[in-house]
Chain A
Amino acid sequence: MIEQKRMSTTSLEALFQRYKTAGWWILAPRAEGDITTFGEVDSPGDVAAGLIQTTLSPKSAVLPIWEELFRFRRGESGIEVVEAAESSVPTIIFGLRPCDARAFAALDAVFTWDSQDEPYLARRNKVAFVSIACNQADDYCFCTSTGGGPGDTAGSDLLLTGVGDEYLVEVVTERGVELAGIAGELFGPAEGMDKAAHLASVPVRFDLDRLRQVLPKTFDREELWIDQSLRCLGCGACAYVCPTCVCFDIQDEATRHGGARVRCWDSCGFSLFTLHTSGHNPREVQSHRWRQRVMHKFAYMPERLQVLGCVGCGRCSRACPVDMNLAEHLAVIAESGE
């Protein structure tokens, strides 16, 4: 049972100060020109207001666009491997949307099935989520088609829903209890607050069960994939703005006396992604790469990791230079029969 409390919106300032005093870093949506990203904030005033969704996702808090896996030094006695000093600090991601909060389950699944990805977990274990429910959505949002919703609590530690000049605060997890406890006096009892009335309405764009049934059987339907992907340019925009895309590259960077092994974001949309050194490419054309993107998220991940690889945040479709609208494509597949 999720405990509910109320908090005045004016108490946010005090809440932020309390968290900072307790040693938390706060990341929240910030405006950078016309785009919005998650960055460090001092006070609620720094947080971008009136947003539907940020341009970039909060993924980089746990999987930075590039990171050193370790460094190495060339010395008298040969090569020495040096682990990166533990650098991440306890971080609250504030003001992320419920879809984004759910996205971390997909990242966790990849980084913990079978083997534990230490560089990822070092950051992940220090992150808490204080999400804000959505009171507005746009044409690109489709959380409700992927099992989520504008007031979904899954993945959040605390979920705030704006109700007039107050927040309804839902304490979702153990960590949420801790976060609420740090500033207990800011919260009151939540009787009489109607959450549902303050949520955006997000129409369901496709039948997920139907999609999951049909999709695995579409691999060889070349014409379907060509039809959908002919305009796709094969860039990395969709993957790089996506909160659940994890694909990465490993590269070495050398200096004279050492260097680092570096992990950086990569995308299955690039033709280079699967290109063998011999020149052979198992995914030779863009339709095969688009198929991989759709299949990976909606067929392979659910089957192998029991988690959907998409939370319906709509970022990929907003960012795509040629308007590849994922929800629209998924609807076509779901309705295309077997």
Chain B
Amino acid sequence: MSENIYRPYLMRIAHIVDEAPGIKTFRLTFQDEEAGARFRFKAGQFGLYSVFGQGESTFCIASSPTRSGYLECTFRTMGRVTTALADCDVGDIIGFRGPYGNTFPIETWEGKSILFIAGGIALPPLRCVIWNVLDLRERFKDVSIIYGARSVADLVYKHELEEWHARGDVRVITTVDPGGETPDWSGEIGFVPTVVEQIAPSSADTVALVCGPPIMIKFTLPVLEKLRFAKNMTYTTLENRMKCGIGKCGRCNVGKVFVCKDGPVFTLEELEELPEEY
């Protein structure tokens, strides 16, 4: 008999980072080490994280597949499950099932430049790809990251932003919304779409990845179009409410496309084919 697909792995919370108000990152290790050693995933995939007795919640896997032995997720406290997760401590056991969904086709990007654009709490899905690309840095040309949040306090992965900045082989631009800056803020001030327009990154042989709140995506995509980024080389991810994550519970679909199976990663070209149901 095959496995019960709803049975989660038991994961130990190995490390917790308070990223920003209401946002935490968990590092999770497999309680069953053998299962952990067998576990494989690719950049872009997500999973269902659960607090036993409270329920399941969907987050992307925020760590890179090039780093094995653990998983990381970054989540914002929203409702029942995320509140329960936020109350967890190092050492607690939570559930994880996955990986689910499609992936960013990183293999096909070798030799190209890569531009990451993220807003707010949407850096986690890209962080996975960023580390994946940086761990294989020599295979790609220029790598740039444009990341914005409402205020300095709301920026997630602050240490990593510094680390990426310090490497010298990545161009990192951080920005906060007007009024969100602190006196010693040295980054940009302005909304992500505006900053992208000002910086006008080159689209030559460049893959663009855009993740963020719907409003940010809505205004950033036209800018990229103006800068002549190819629609089939511009990627984003969709979030629809999910329960099963495996194409059965019937709630995540956008038209005939199931975000949990056919997504969450879509090219701009694919996105334009979808009906407005996300």
Does chain B have a CB within 8 A of A119? yes
Establish whether residues A81 and B247, one from each chain, have CB atoms under 8 Å apart when the complex forms.
no
Complex: A274 Cα to B242 Cα, angstroms: 8
Complex: A283 Cα to B241 Cα, angstroms: 11
Which of A83, A118, A220, A296 has the most chain B CB atoms closer than 10 A to its own CB?
A118
A interface size (C-beta, 8 A): 53
Indicate which residue in B7, B239, B248, B256 contacts A300 across the interface (CB closer than 8 Å): B256
Establish whether residues B3 and A118, one from each chain, have CB atoms under 8 Å apart when the complex forms.
yes
Interfacial chain B residues near A259, Cβ < 8 Å: 52-53
Stretch of A16-24, A39-47, A225-233, A242-250 contacting B (4+ beta carbons < 8 Å):
A242-250
Residue of A nearest to B52 (CB): A72
Kindly provide the distance from the CB of B256 to the nearest chain A CB, expressed in whole angstroms.
Answer: 4
Establish whether residues A250 and B243, one from each chain, have CB atoms under 8 Å apart when the complex forms.
yes
Q: State the majority secondary structure of interface residues on B.
A: loop
Does chain A have a CB within 8 A of B4? yes
Residue of B nearest to A74 (CB): B52
B interface size (C-beta, 8 A): 43
Establish whether residues A248 and B243, one from each chain, have CB atoms under 8 Å apart when the complex forms.
yes
Q: Which of B53-73 contact A (CB under 8 A)?
A: 53-56
Interfacial chain B residues near A72, Cβ < 8 Å: 52-53
Complex: A71 Cα to B191 Cα, angstroms: 47
Q: State the majority secondary structure of interface residues on A.
A: mixed
Complex: A115 Cα to B194 Cα, angstroms: 43
Complex: A142 Cα to B212 Cα, angstroms: 46
Indicate which residue in B10, B79, B241 contacts A79 across the interface (CB closer than 8 Å): B10
Does chain A have a CB within 8 A of B222? no
Interfacial chain A residues near B5, Cβ < 8 Å: 115-118
Interfacial chain A residues near B247, Cβ < 8 Å: 110, 113-115
Kindly provide the distance from the CB of B239 to the nearest chain A CB, expressed in whole angstroms.
Answer: 7
Task: Mark interface residues in A150-166 (1 if CB within 8 Å of B CB, else 0).
Answer: 00000000000000000
Complex: A78 Cα to B258 Cα, angstroms: 35
Task: Mark interface residues in A296-319 (1 if CB within 8 Å of B CB, else 0).
Answer: 100110011000000000000000
Contact A118-B277, Cβ < 8 Å, known A250-B56, A250-B243, A299-B256 = no
Interfacial chain B residues near A249, Cβ < 8 Å: 243, 249
Extra A-B contacts (8), CB below 8 Å, given A114-B246, A251-B55, A273-B251: A69-B4, A69-B7, A72-B52, A81-B7, A115-B5, A121-B2, A246-B250, A282-B240
Residue of A nearest to B6 (CB): A69
Does chain A have a CB within 8 A of B244? yes
Establish whether residues B2 and A116, one from each chain, have CB atoms under 8 Å apart when the complex forms.
yes
Does chain A have a CB within 8 A of B254? yes
Does chain B have a CB within 8 A of A288? yes
Show 23 A/B contacts (Cβ-Cβ < 8 Å), sorted by A. Answer: A78-B93, A83-B4, A83-B7, A110-B247, A114-B247, A115-B246, A117-B5, A117-B248, A219-B255, A248-B243, A248-B250, A250-B244, A253-B53, A254-B53, A254-B54, A266-B249, A266-B251, A274-B240, A276-B241, A282-B240, A282-B277, A300-B255, A300-B256
Indicate which residue in A70, A253, A274, A280 contacts B7 across the interface (CB closer than 8 Å): A70
Does chain A have a CB within 8 A of B199? no
Does chain A have a CB within 8 A of B78? yes
